[in-house]
Amino acid sequence: MKKISFLGTAIALSAAPILSQMAISAETEINEILVSASLVPIAASRSANAITVIDSEQLRNRAALTVGDLLRDVPGLAVSRSGVQGSQTQIRARGAEANHLLVLIDGVEANDPSQSDELNWGTLSADDIERIEVIRGPQSSMRGSDAMAGVVNIVTRSAEQAFSAKLFTEAGSFSTTRHGFHIGTKQGDFNVRLGVSDTKTDGDNISRTGDEKDGYENTSINLKAGFTVNEEFKLSFSARQSDGMNEFDADGDFDGFVEDQDRVSEFRNSTMGLQADYVSADGRWQHKLVIAQSKHDNEAFADDVLGNVTASTKDQYQYIGSMFWDDSSQRISVLAEREEEDYRQRGPLSWGLDPNQDRERDTNSFAIEYRNDISDRLSLALSSRYDDNSEFDSANTYRMEAVYQLRDDTRLRSAYGTAVKNPTFSERFGFYTNFIGNPELKPEESTSWELGIDQQLGDFSLSATLFDSELENEINGFAYDAVNMGFTAVNNEEVSERQGVELTASVDLDESLAISAAYTYTDSVQSDGAGGYEDEVRRARHTANLNLAWQATDLLQLTTNVQYSGSQSDEFFPPLPAPSQIVTLNDYTLINVNANFSATDRLDIYLRLDNLLDDDYEEVFGYQTLGFGASLGLRFSL
């Protein structure tokens, strides 16, 4: 098994200016406030996490259809889409699994327990979002089971003016259209905002054969409101819902290759949360109470006949209290939380198995976090969490952090901690059609560390992070069960390892031109069952991106985005009982261009060019992706 030597790391760090090839989402600025890197907001300069923020300006300039498209620029993340726009999309952080990444929408957990605790990023519209924060590295000591590899926190837009309204429309290749509106008001201590968007596309053929197009539809509604009762007490409410469908192809004859099939998946995903915040007059005491719910409904059709149905509901009740002392240099925070999860699956008998089932599980949790800004240069933090789960043994996780401001322009950071990921409902109890559950599975457990340095050289910023994680009890969800002629899940006996380096750089050459870049090396391996190790699938060792933002005139801005993904492995499943085979997906480079023109004070015109070189590539074996596409859009403010 390959290891990263400290000598190699030193060389990599010293070569950062050369290797960097950058992302639109630059590392957070020194005093930026984050809402998800701690139990309560902290300054980025006091956090040991590697953090990327995509702000409202970047969201506007990219005009992406989905959040998954935006996250391709974030170092350490690997995006895999099974075909065209709207298809099943997974995101893996630092070589971990897709269900090791917790997703929050306005603080509400959005992962779907009925879909292996993942979020299908293909269903999450990029409309009506204010900012996206990506915190890489284990966060289980504060966020629990789903945060083994990191957290993506999505903050939707709030009303900030007495009245604001905007209409937008877009049309482009593959018969793609997007329309919608936003309207909001802020009157005294009350604000409310409503956003609606509708996206439709005919798409293109996913299969390598045939010419049937696979389309996608998504209608998203976002509502957000807030009320300031007095200087100490505030109330807020948020709700977001997406309804839609995507067409897809499948391996109908079980030869391992996707063929043209009349398959449709319909989805409805929603999150909503009510939050109360109280801050004492002197600011030393803070209390937050959250009541939240997420719901997911998924239906799959074959030739217009309903096949399987999965649904989940997660109810969350959370209290966070914080106390500051010594002029706020020290803070202790506590969390008390209860989560209730319900899971339902329906489908016809298949392979002699009855997929119909109803399951539930509950988790009671307590966490504590201590932070001490010992001086202007040194910050320490320690957090620990206890989870009492109705289905598994109690879990204890912890994390230690240290941040040292070596000089005004140089920051060192380090972290060490543990994390846990509980088996999913489908891994334990099976999934339609021929996946056999294993109720004896044990939770996955990891131990991780990271070291980082952030350097500011005038207008030039550099950042480097070395990370390492060891995973025990990794769940293999494709273990062949010869008795039942199907697949099941088992815990691997050997330790799996994930390690790598993230490099980022950014520079403002002048007031009109900014360049940013990122490079990630990821070595993620698991046992091959024969005493050796093999690469984990769908995780390229080398990824990089480069972004150029040019304010050509006062009215015109141009953005160029280059994404590179190195070759990676995937798994091919030939007809049973032949074992699965490892295949290689070729590397690819995508070039995307955006132009934004302010025609008047009220009217903006934008152009988006995707895959400018019409590159032919696959992110999942056998699933074709989109070629060159162009879209033209208008935004009109009332």
Residues of the chain with pLDDT under 70: 1-35, 326-327, 351-352, 432-433, 482-485
Inter-residue contact 468 to 495 (CB < 8 Å): no
**Residue among 109, 167, 137 nearest 50 (CA):** 137
pLDDT computed for residue 27 by the predictor = 44
Inter-residue contact 194 to 128 (CB < 8 Å): no
Give the strand pairing for 150-156 and 101-105: parallel
Which SS3 state, helix, strand or coil, does residue 440 take? coil
Distance CA 34, CA 135 (A): 10
Inter-residue contact 411 to 45 (CB < 8 Å): yes
The DSSP H or E segment spanning 427 is: helix 425-429
Distance CA 112, CA 298 (A): 10
**Residue among 209, 145, 98 nearest 422 (CA):** 145
Inter-residue contact 369 to 382 (CB < 8 Å): yes
Distance CA 50, CA 136 (A): 6
Distance CA 538, CA 148 (A): 18
**Residue among 465, 617, 563, 587 nearest 73 (CA):** 563
Give the model confidence (pLDDT) of 380-401 as tens digits: 999 999 999 999 999 999 999 9
Distance CA 123, CA 134 (A): 19
What tokens were used for 312?
């989940």
What tokens were used for 299?
């239906």
**Residue among 535, 540, 539, 422 nearest 489 (CA):** 422
pLDDT computed for residue 253 by the predictor = 75
Distance CA 39, CA 335 (A): 8
408: left (phi over 0), alpha (psi -120 to 50) or beta: alpha
Supply the pTM of this predicted model: 0.93
Q: How distant is the alpha carbon of residue 571 from its chain centre?
A: 23
pLDDT computed for residue 17 by the predictor = 34
Q: Which residues, 6+ apart, have CB-to-CB distance to 188 below 8 Å?
A: none
Q: How distant is the alpha carbon of residue 382 from its chain centre?
A: 25
**Residue among 626, 537, 545 nearest 585 (CA):** 537
CA dihedral 420, 423, 424, 429 (to 10 degrees): -170
The DSSP line for 533-579 is EEEPTT--SEEEEEEEEEE-SSSEEEEEEEEEE--EEEEE--STTSP
Sign of CA dihedral 419, 420, 424, 428: positive
What tokens were used for 237?
């409410």
Distance CA 26, CA 52 (A): 6
The DSSP line for 152-176 is EEEEE----SSSEEEEEEEEEGGGE
The DSSP H or E segment spanning 18 is: helix 16-19
The DSSP line for 442-456 is PPEEEEEEEEEEEEE
Q: Which CATH class is domain 6-637?
A: mainly beta
CA dihedral 119, 41, 134, 454 (to 10 degrees): -160
Domain boundaries, the chain: 6-637
Tell me the residue type at 610: D
Helix (H) and strand (E) counts for the chain? Answer: 6, 37
Look up residue 113 and give its DSSP letter. Answer: G
Q: Which residues, 6+ apart, have CB-to-CB distance to 131 below 8 Å?
A: 53, 54, 55, 56, 59, 155
Distance CA 586, CA 540 (A): 10
Q: Is the peptide bond before 348 cis (omega within 30 degrees of 0)?
A: no
Tell me the residue type at 416: Y
Q: How distant is the alpha carbon of residue 329 from its chain centre?
A: 32
- HEC string of 65-106 equals CEHHHHHHHCCCEEEEECCCCCCCEEEEECCCCHHHEEEEEC
Tell me the residue type at 238: S
Distance CA 228, CA 382 (A): 32
| Count of positions (residues) in the chain | 638
Which SS3 state, helix, strand or coil, does residue 14 take? helix
The DSSP H or E segment spanning 428 is: helix 425-429
Inter-residue contact 106 to 156 (CB < 8 Å): yes
The DSSP line for 512-526 is SEEEEEEEEEEEEEE
Q: Is the peptide bond before 363 cis (omega within 30 degrees of 0)?
A: no
Q: What is the per-residue burial (b if ≥16 Cβ within 10 Å, else e) of 321-360? A: bbebeeeeeebebebebebebbbbbbbeeeeebebeeebe
Tell me the residue type at 197: S
